[in-house]
Amino acid sequence: MGDERVKAEALQILGLFQVLPRLVVFDLDYTLWPFYCECRSKRDSPSLFRHARGIMYALKEKGVEMAIASRSPTPDIAKVFIDKLELQSMFVAQVSKMGVTSVLVENGVNLDMFKLGLSNFATSFAASSRKQDE
């Protein structure tokens, strides 16, 4: 499935939700790309999981900011790969304090995990809104 088809499907998924997060934070290793940075060289040509770019395009189109968080012991390699994949403009430089909904993805980000994360966020948002109303 190409980036544009994934983007279109991700936009349909986003349309199912009345409320969207202001920020989505992605891990890098085995979430956006199928490897650990520390097992690679800066000279390598990195690749993303097949749904990753389309999902990011859809989030960007809907005005949802994105950031990355990684515990990689080789952040220099991660930065080189982000630059090689031309992803640097997708991510905000600073992240403000917000509630976080996380989803453990076993085989990289895909449309099913994307939908699950949004469902979990919507449930948490509704619960916190009810608490504020009390």
With vertex at residue 80, the alpha carbon angle to CA 10 and CA 39, rounded to the nearest 5 degrees, is: 90
Contact predicate 81/39, CB 8 Å:
no
CA 93 to chain centre: 15
Tally of structural domains, the chain:
1
Q: State the Cα–Cα distance between residues 57 and 95, nearest whole angstrom.
A: 19
Average pLDDT over residues 67-85: 90
Q: Report pLDDT for 104.
A: 82
Residues 17-27 pLDDT 10s = 999 999 999 98
**48 pLDDT higher than 60:** yes
Short-list 99, 106, 102, CA closest to 118: 102
Question: What CATH number has the domain bearing residue 99?
Answer: 3.40.50.1000
Query: What is the spatial distance between Cα 79 and Cα 4, in angstroms, rounded to a whole number?
Result: 25
Return the pLDDT at 134. 67
Task: Pick the range with the lowest mean pLDDT from 6-10, 40-44, 109-113, 121-125.
Answer: 121-125
Q: Which pLDDT score is estimated for 102?
A: 78
Question: The domain containing residue 4 runs over which residues?
Answer: 1-131
Is pLDDT above 70 for 97? no
Report residue 98's pLDDT band, with 50, 70 and 90 as the boundaries: low
Between β-strands 23-26 and 65-68, what pairing exists: parallel, antiparallel or unpaired?
parallel
Whether pLDDT at 83 is above 80: yes
